[in-house]
Structure 1
Amino acid sequence: MLALVAVLTLITTHDVTELRWIGLLAVAGVPAVVAPRHRILGPLGRFAEVVIVALAASQVAAMATVGASLTPGLGASAMLPYLSVPLTVAALHRRLREAAALLGVAALTLLVSGVLTRSGGQPQITQLGYVAVCAQWLVLAALGTVAAGTLQRIMQTRGETKPQPYAEATRLLTQLRSVARQLPGATLDPGGISEHLIEELRTVARADRMAVLSASGGGRLVVLAQAGVDRVDWETTLDADSAIADAWASQQPQTASRSQARSHRGGDVSALVVPLVAGVRTIGLVTLEADVANAYPASVVRLVTALTRPAALRLEAALLFDEVRSLATNEERQRLAREIHDGVAQELVMVGYGIDNALATLPEEATETAEELRTLRGEVTRVITELRLSLFELRSEVDRHGGLAAAIAEYARTVGASGGLRVHLSLDESTARLPAATEAELLRIAQEAITNARKHAGAANLWVTCAVDPPFAQIEVSDDGQGIADQRPDGRYGLAIMAERAERIRGRLEIRPRHPSGTTVAVVLGTSPRRDSVRDSV
């Protein structure tokens, strides 16, 4: 602004000596720049700037009139733009009273200096051009002050009302809990909602095979629920040449005369794929197939679409709830793992070192004390090993690319090696994937069963069977130990936890004796013909 008024002054007066006012303004502005919030220096500097601007405006107006034959108003307008600087700064520093006082001082100084300054033998104030320009710039300065004050209040309000992440999360989760309690059946289970949708669709359309699919990331789909005589190997890739991929991309129902199942053997087939669209986002698909031609005319498509529209919103809410719950659970498991590792695990290691030092400095004749210390050292080592296995369990997750079977196998090998168990694995996993939340629960059930076998069974062998063919899954953990009847209370508590997890994913937990000794713990999700090749061998 100093540079601007300097240029305007030179243009209007053609006198370099009038730049002395610019120098005075620069000096007067130093306190406001160095200490803008100081209780005395800041306001003092701004008042000095206003007075200098008003005096300079009347002087430059007189010089412009005499030297350049210009109107006094044009000369005054060379300096008056600088009025906006001290006024705006005062408003931005929440000094509105100071800004009003500055505006009053500016008006009074312009009036007095205009009266005292004469040009051509007449008082400057009697010249209408000068008065009009001064009034114009005072009004503009006042409006700028009001705008600056309003902007400052808006910024302050936003800063005060900006919600903290955890406070906002708490508010949203509280709302979700309230809404969830009011839902029909109080359910936010994607599998249950999908099965209910299938039952509804059966009333309006013929379908020998039907499935509800949802996105799982990586350009693949997962089967949330399906109906039919046999399990179907549905096309779950979105980059394939199929009606499923077309419906996902176009968000429009697609009909086809060939099956969308990779395992179909041929014959007359009618297929209908309807996208589940919530807002502008595709969250899933419904696939219907009938072993006849032309089973899905336009009238049937309209009936199916009418049922899928509201179901899409319900399914989106359930999937979002599952995702939030999984994120919160995983974060809490990682936090617990960090606290155990950095806390009690490190302290136990230091206790072990202390016992080792005591053994090293113990006299040779204190054999009884040495034996007790060795026993204590062995117990500390055992507890540290248990903690490390607990940390491994807390940090274990189902890898997007490795799959559920790989995660269970890794855990079984690690735990078997630490417990001296011979591990027998049988893994049969389809390329299709279960929902992430379901895979996580199945992994935890398998981990608990394997841990119980290592801790309480006294077994030498461990058999782990994992069969996954979405939406079906079956996991069995068998041992040749002492059986379940003699297990400790903490082992029975582990069984209760497994039962709760199985119920959460709408599966069933089976616990039965193994012949000739040991226990079998199995969790089954969905329905399927029995897979008994491995079960018979154990």
Structure 2
Amino acid sequence: MPASTVPLPFLHPLAVAARVVMLCLVALLTLIATRDVTQLWWIALLAGAGIPAVIAPRHRILAPLGRFAEVVIVAMAASQVAASAVQGSNLGAAAMLPYLAVPLTVTAMNRRVREGAALLGVAAVALVVSGLVTETAAGRQLEQANYLAVCAQWLTLAVLGTIAASTLQRIMQVRGESKPQPYAEATRLLTQLRSVARQLPGATLDPGGISEHLLEELRTVARTDRGAVLSASGGGRLVVLAQVGVDRVDWETTLDADSAIADAWATQQPQTAHRSQSRSHSGPEVSALVVPLVAGVRTVGLVTLEADVAGAYPAAVVDQVTALTRPAALRLEAALLFDEVRSLATNEERQRLAREIHDGVAQELVMVGYGIDNALATLPDDAKETAEELRTLRGEVTRVITELRLSLFELRSEVDRHGGLAAAIAEYARTVGASAGLRVHLSLDESTARLPAATEAEMLRIAQEAITNARKHAQATNLWVTCAVDPPFAQIEVSDDGQGIADQRPDGRYGLAIMAERAERIRGRLEIRPRRPSGTTVAVVLGTLPRRDSVRDSVTAPEGE
């Protein structure tokens, strides 16, 4: 593009402010030095010369010409003000020379090294020449030594200022290159994560799978009658990612308890003990080993091993176990981070969809309903058939709006960090039951220990899908929702007294397939069976049987009315 046709950008506020402040400063110094208002015409001339550099800072011709004009005018004005100074040429010259910092600093910030050197040379020559040809009011030449000394001082300051500005610009540029914008950095990291995930063998970004594989490896080097991998869940508690043993074990998951588990987490060192780390096991001879999983400086989890013999974990065995847990800690941390990123992305997408549905389709359907109401109100009395059709249409619109509102509620439902899985399921069941006219029977049994956050989220979605299927397709009167959580065991059952699953529509069968996929993702199992005398039971079971028979009994819907 030719220079003459380059578009002029908008005025830059900082450039304008710098010039205005500096013009005010030199104007004040000129008045102090000369006590002559007529000398301010240099200030007006200087302001006019700076206009091209302000309104077109990137122009290849106008901007440099403006800066060179400013430098020449400053040199001429310095000698003239020095000649008119009341108290000598030193004060007069110093009144105008501070303005040299403006064009030189702008040049340095734009990284125009050659232009900056040229400006300094033009300034030096112009100051010397104007000083030689300028006479004072008394007809005498300026005191050349003093005048040139003042000019040299200000030129030196201008050079130092230019170098400082150029250095600052380079530092800012390096910082900008080394610290990209958050979204650019996130894109880079996620791209790397995707590439790495594709190169990893199998489902190695699953925390549960990694934990189970680690326990199997450890059983080859150390006797393990019971074992578990635990990870932090927030709130000073741990969650069980995987466990092995003949019986289900209730591990101590409180980090503020007096246990080897809490000591290993705090010290990041292996701990041995002669008592069980579980609250449900009471054997006469127990050896326990707790090894922290440390990735860098961060503890990401613990491995707990127990054997029903004394002295099962000597120093040599501890070294072998530690050698296996070191690389596993990094794998587990990567899996946990990936799980967290996936959960955050999923939740954000659900919230985005909820907002779009609420602000888009839902609002438009409401307006359609209002339009039908207005049409009904304006119909003549003899248009009974049209009125009946409109009422039918209004009922259908109302039904769709209700469905959308329930879908929004489902999208926005999450497991509260403090409330737990059972509370989230109960809230959803009550809301859906009230909208559908179902009698909801709740049976909740949840321990203080928590499942991993990703597992809780999947269990909630399975329960929501089962409740939604019962509401839409079962034509039921009663809904039984039972939830038992005793990590790592969990079981949710949704039963209805409707027509069963034989005549379900394709979308209902698709919902069952989604539930099966979710259950498989958290290594659980989905059970679908008919309920007697009528209805369907959908259950998702995670882990082995609980230690309390009462929990198992509580998750069974009544078989009869």
The two structures share one fold, judged by TM-score above 0.5: yes
**Which residue matches 2:364?**
347
Change (3 A) 1:23 1:203: farther
Return the alpha-carbon distance in structure 2 between the equivalents of residues 412 and 483 of structure 1.
19
Determine the structure 2 residue equivalent to 1:207: 224
Deviation for aligned residue 1:218: 1.6
Report how far residue 135 of structure 1 moved.
6.3
Q: Residue 12 of structure 1 aligns with which residue?
A: none
Structure 2 matches for 1:326-341, cutoff 5 A?
A: 326-341=343-358
Matching of residue 304 in structure 1 with residue 321 in structure 2: yes
Q: Which residue of 2 aligns with 1:247?
A: 264
Amino acid at match of 1:47: V
CA contact (8 A) 2:493 2:555 kept: no
The code of the aligned residue for 1:428 comes to D
Q: Structure 2: any 5+ residue segments left out of the alignment?
A: 1-21, 57-61
Alignment correspondent of 2:558? 537
CA distance in 2, matches of 1:200, 1:75: 87
Q: Which of 44, 47, 54 is the equivalent residue of 2:72?
A: 47
Tell me how far 1:113 sits from its aligned partner.
Answer: 5.2
Q: Which runs of 5+ in 1 are unaligned?
A: 10-14, 65-71
Are the aligned partners of 2:231 and 2:241 in contact in 1 as well (CA < 8 Å)? yes
Question: Greater CA deviation, 434-443 or 454-463?
Answer: 454-463
Partner of 1:112 in structure 2? 129
Question: Residues 356 and 75 (structure 1 numbering): CA distance in 2 closer, same or farther, change over 3 Å?
Answer: closer
How far the C-alpha of 1:476 sits from its partner, in A, is: 1.4
Report if the CA contact (8 A) 1:273-1:285 is conserved: yes
Return the offset for 1:280: 1.1
The answer to whether structure 1 residue 432 and structure 2 residue 449 are counterparts is yes
Q: Please give the alpha-carbon distance, in whole angstroms, between the structure 2 residues aligned to 1:381 and 1:99.
A: 73
How far residue 383 of structure 1 moved from its aligned partner, in angstroms, is 1.1
CA contact (8 A) 1:446 1:475 kept: yes
Q: Quick one: distance in 2 between partners of 1:32 and 1:189?
A: 68
For residues 389-538 of structure 1, the aligned pairs below 5 Å read 389-528=406-545, 531-535=552-556, 537-538=558-559
CA–CA distance in 1 between the matches of 2:129 and 2:311? 96
Letter in 2 for 1:460: T
Q: Structure 2: which amino acid aligns with 1:524?
A: V
Q: 3-state SS of the aligned residue for 1:473?
A: strand
Where 1:385 maps in the other structure, the secondary structure is helix
Give the 3 Å change call, closer, same or farther, for CA 527–4 of structure 1 in structure 2.
same
Whether the 8 Å CA contact 2:74–2:96 is kept in 1: the answer is: no
C-alpha contact 1:272 1:289 (8 A) present in aligned 2: yes
TM-score normalised by the chain length of structure 1 = 0.84
CA distance in 1, matches of 2:486, 2:541: 11
Cα deviation digits, residues 108-161 of structure 1 (max 9, x gap): 13443565689xx99987x7x998986676466335424424533654676699
Please tell me whether the aligned partners of residues 482 and 554 of structure 2 are also in contact (alpha carbons under 8 angstroms). Answer: no
Residue 197 of structure 1 and its aligned partner are, at CA, apart by 0.8
Within 1, Cα distance between the matches of 2:33 and 2:153? 27
Aligned-CA RMSD value? 3.8
- Rounded to whole Å, the distance in 2 between the matches of 1:86 and 1:166 is 36
Residue 267 of structure 1: how far off its partner (Å)? 3.0
Cα distance in 1 for partners of 2:483, 2:232 equals 23
Q: Distance in 2 between matches of 1:388 and 1:122?
A: 91
Are 1:142 and 2:163 matched, yes or no?
Answer: no
Structure 1 residue 309, shift from structure 2 partner: 0.9
Residue 194 (str. 1) matches residue 211 (str. 2):
yes
Indicate conservation of the 8 Å contact 1:24/1:52, yes or no.
no
Structure 1 residues 398 and 453: alpha-carbon distance in aligned structure 2, compared to 1, 3 A threshold: same
* Matching residue's letter, 1:180: A
Q: How many residues align?
A: 522
- The question of whether the paired residues in 2 share the 8 Å contact of 1:32 and 1:46 is answered with no
- Paired AA for residue 109 in structure 1: A
Distance 1:325-1:19 versus aligned 2 partners, 3 A rule: farther
Q: Which residue of 2 aligns with 1:228?
A: 245
The letter for the 1-side match of 2:72 is: F
The residue matched to 1:537 in structure 2 has which SS? coil
CA distance in 2, matches of 1:459, 1:528: 30
Instruction: Pick closer, same or farther for the CA change 1:17–1:306 going to 2, 3 Å.
Output: same
Aligned equivalents of 1:242, 1:404: Cα separation in 2 = 27
147 and 495 in structure 1: CA distance in 2 versus 1, 3 angstrom threshold: same
Q: Is the 8 A contact 2:470 2:496 kept in 1?
A: yes
1:388–1:38 Cα change, 3 Å: closer
Distance in 1 (CA, whole Å) between partners of 2:190 and 2:80 is: 63
For the residue of structure 2 that corresponds to 1:185, the secondary structure is: coil
Between the aligned partners of 1:480 and 1:53, the Cα distance in structure 2 is: 99
| Range with greater deviation from structure 2 (21-30 or 242-251) | 21-30
Question: How far apart are 1:439 and its partner, in Å?
Answer: 0.5
Partner deviation per Cα, 1:259-317 (whole Å, 9 max, x = no partner): 22222335333222211111111111111222333322222221111111111110010
Take 2:474 and 2:24, find their aligned partners in 1: how far apart are those partners? 88
Q: 1:234 deviation in Å?
A: 1.7
Q: Distance in 2 between matches of 1:83 and 1:347?
A: 64
In structure 2, what is the Cα distance between the partners aligned to 1:230 and 1:25? Answer: 95
**Which letter does structure 2 place at the counterpart of 1:267?**
P
How far residue 238 of structure 1 moved from its aligned partner, in angstroms, is 1.8
Q: What is the SS of the residue equivalent to 2:227? A: strand
Tell me: CA distance 1:97–1:489, structure 2 relative to 1, closer, same or farther (3 Å): same
Give the structure 2 partner of residue 69 of structure 1. Answer: none
Q: Distance in 2 between matches of 1:344 and 1:352?
A: 12
Aligned partner of 2:279 among 262, 272, 275: 262
Q: Contact 2:294 / 2:326 at 8 angstroms: preserved in 1? A: yes
- Among candidates 95, 104, 107, match of residue 87 of structure 1: 104
Instruction: Report Cα offsets for 1:424-469 as digits up to 9, x if no partner.
Output: 2221212111111110011001100110011111122222221111
SS in 2 for 1:424: strand
**CA shift in 2, pair 1:28/1:236, >3 Å:** farther
Q: Which moved more, 1:403-412 or 1:359-368?
A: 359-368
- One-letter amino acid of the counterpart of residue 537, structure 1: P
Question: Does residue 333 of structure 2 align to residue 316 of structure 1?
Answer: yes
More displaced 10-residue stretch of structure 1: 309-318 or 499-508: 499-508
Paired residue type of 2:487: P
Q: 2:200 aligns with which of 183, 199, 218?
A: 183
State yes or no: 1:276 paired with 2:293. Answer: yes
1:58–1:94 distance in 2 versus 1, CA, 3 Å = farther
Q: 1:363 aligns with which of 369, 375, 380?
A: 380
**1:360 Cα offset (Å):** 2.0
Relative to structure 1, the CA distance from residue 310 to residue 348 in structure 2 (aligned partners, 3 Å threshold; closer, same or farther) is same
1:378 and 2:395 correspond: yes
Q: For the structure 1 residues 364 and 203, does the alpha-carbon distance in structure 2 shift closer, same or farther, using more than 3 Å as the test?
A: same
Contact 1:233 1:263 in 2 (8 A): yes
Q: Deviations over 1:39-71 (max 9, x none)?
A: 5695344432244447778999x968xxxxxxx
Partner-residue secondary structure (3-state), 1:235: coil
User: Counterpart of 1:398 in 2: which secondary structure?
Assistant: coil
Distance in 1 between residues matched to 2:506 and 2:355, nearest whole Å? 28
Structure 1 position 100 matched with structure 2 position 145: no
The 1:97/1:428 distance shift into structure 2, 3 A limit, reads same
Residues 86 and 384 (structure 1), Cα distance of their counterparts in 2 relative to 1, 3 Å cut: closer
Separation in 2, partners of 1:518, 1:17? 103
Conserved in 2, the CA contact under 8 Å of 1:465 and 1:476?
Answer: yes
The aligned amino acid for 2:454 is: A
Q: Secondary structure at the match of 2:202?
A: helix
CA 1:86/1:363 → structure 2, altered by over 3 Å: closer, same or farther?
closer
